[in-house]
Amino acid sequence: MRYQPLPSDLYIRNRAKLTSMMKHGSMAIVNSNDEMPRSGDQNFPFKQNSDMFYLTGLDQEKCILTICPSHPVESLREVIFTVKTNDLMVTWNGYKYTLDEARQLSGVRTIKWLDEFDMTLKDQMSRVQTVYLNQNEYIKYFTDVPSRDTRFAGKMKTDYPVHSYERLAPLITSMRLVKEPEEIMQMQKACDLTNDGFRRILDFVKPGIMEYEVEAAFTHEFSRKGAGHAYQPIVASGRNACVLHYVSNDKPCMDGDLLLLDVGAEYGNYCADMSRTIPVNGKFTPRQRQVYEAVLRLMNAGMSMLKPGVTNEKWHAEVCRLMEKELLGLGLITRAEVESQDAASPAFFRYYMHGTGHFLGLDVHDVGSRQDVFKKGMVLTCEPGIYIPEEGIGIRLENDVMVDDIPVNLMAHIPVDPDEIEELMGRR
């Protein structure tokens, strides 16, 4: 394991909270993610199902958790099933959890091999009427590939057709929205590693360097400290920065261009998400600085609003109101355009066309909706941007912030002031 695991107490508490929300006479079943095929005999690197990790701390494929609180046999109220290991498997494929290791990581007392799953499940199902099954319910995500959860739900409804089934996602979503102190600790570690990577590239970026070389510097910094990328990094120079999800990262960084970086470390499965925009030659032009300072004002104002009682929807609307003023000041839109604008397509949308932020946690776009009311302990990104293709300028700034009466900026130590950026780049 590359990272320091969290104490099992966190997962014990999480399961207890879930149990308290379940209907009487019910059980819940959660699966690990599949190993995803790449090509030939290769798989993509494994990424654990976030709900499974949240409830168990297990970071391995072929694991199943069952929670059956009303079972008369105490040892069958929480059970983890994991792939049976042997010396030959270890020789070929490496380490897998032993029963005791899975027990220590998760705090679940009863650990069984997967070949005992069907018999144990039949016993548990005989004691309940309702079964909670999990699905990825992220509203913007679509895929043609049937997930393990989808396949498992189909099999359960075939094998146990007279039981009733409930959605587990709403329960776990309500739990995952507010982060526990241990989770904030892991997220702060991810932010710290992102800071390390950013400071490294400030000493590295210069005219002529390739975007993918900058990406590689982040990758090396993360990897040597037991972390990885929380998402595919964006390293976008010049006009590429006006492409919101630019990930080609294959162009040269030219003298006079800006370089937009949207990069975050993932540590212990918890994500950081940072955006910074820097001058390739180490010095902002007057116009670049003018636009940059406008975005910085918007980010600072947006972060200050991340307090209990606000909704993402209202927060974004207020930042858009401030954005309109900034774009007027930059001469990008006119007062006449604002006064005659269509509410469904406001004038500022030409230069600012995305949301102000999103929830962050075990997933970079974590559980939660635009209508959720902010509570203490939630973590969101704040990432306003201004994109001016006709000037070759794209600037986005992004920090990760914990909601509180006085919002907590988890990236306060990452350089963002333009004078500091120029100073650090000038030391090369």
| 358 is known as an active-site residue | yes
Active site residue 383: yes
**3-class DSSP state of 236:** strand
**Residue 257 a catalytic site member:** no
Active site residue 396: yes
Q: Which of 132, 229, 396, 400 is catalytic?
A: 396
Sequence-distant (6+) residues with CB within 8 A of 102 are 58, 63, 80, 82, 108, 111
Q: Confirm whether 41 is a catalytic residue.
A: yes
Based on the residue annotation, tell me whether 326 is a catalytic residue of this protein.
Answer: no
- Residue 404 backbone dihedrals phi, psi, to 5 degrees: -165, 175
Catalytic residue among 13, 127, 148, 354: 354
Strands (E), 230-307: 234-237, 258-263, 265-267, 270-271, 274-279
For residue 403, CA distances in Å to 283, 313, 375 come to: 34, 15, 6
Told to judge if 262 belongs to the known catalytic residues of this protein, a careful annotator would answer yes
Work out the end-to-end distance of the chain between its first and last CA atoms, rounded to an integer number of angstroms: 36
Q: Which two tokens stand for residue 205?
A: 């970026």
Going from the C-alpha of 23 to that of each of 132, 164, 173, 178, 235, the distances in angstroms are 9, 12, 17, 22, 48
Q: Which of 257, 273, 324, 326 is catalytic?
A: 273
Q: Which of 24, 245, 335, 427 is catalytic?
A: 245
The one catalytic residue in 24, 41, 144, 427 is: 41
Q: How far apart, in whole angstroms, are the C-alpha atoms of residue 195 and residue 301?
A: 22
Q: Is 273 a catalytic residue?
A: yes
Which of 365, 370, 372, 422 is catalytic? The answer is: 365
Active site residue 220: no
Distance CA 53, CA 31 (A): 10
* Cβ neighbours of 98 (radius 10 Å): 12
- 358, 363, 366, 400: which one is catalytic? 358
Residues across the chain? 428
CA distances, 88 to each of 82, 95, 114, 115 (Å): 17, 11, 18, 18
Q: Which of 78, 262, 324, 366 is catalytic?
A: 262
Which of 221, 257, 366, 383 is the catalytic position?
Answer: 383
Task: State the chain's maximal CA–CA distance in angstroms.
Answer: 75
Catalytic residue among 59, 61, 398, 400: 398
Is there a catalytic annotation at residue 51? no
Is 245 one of the catalytic residues?
yes
Tell me the catalytic residues. 41, 245, 262, 273, 354, 358, 365, 383, 387, 396, 398
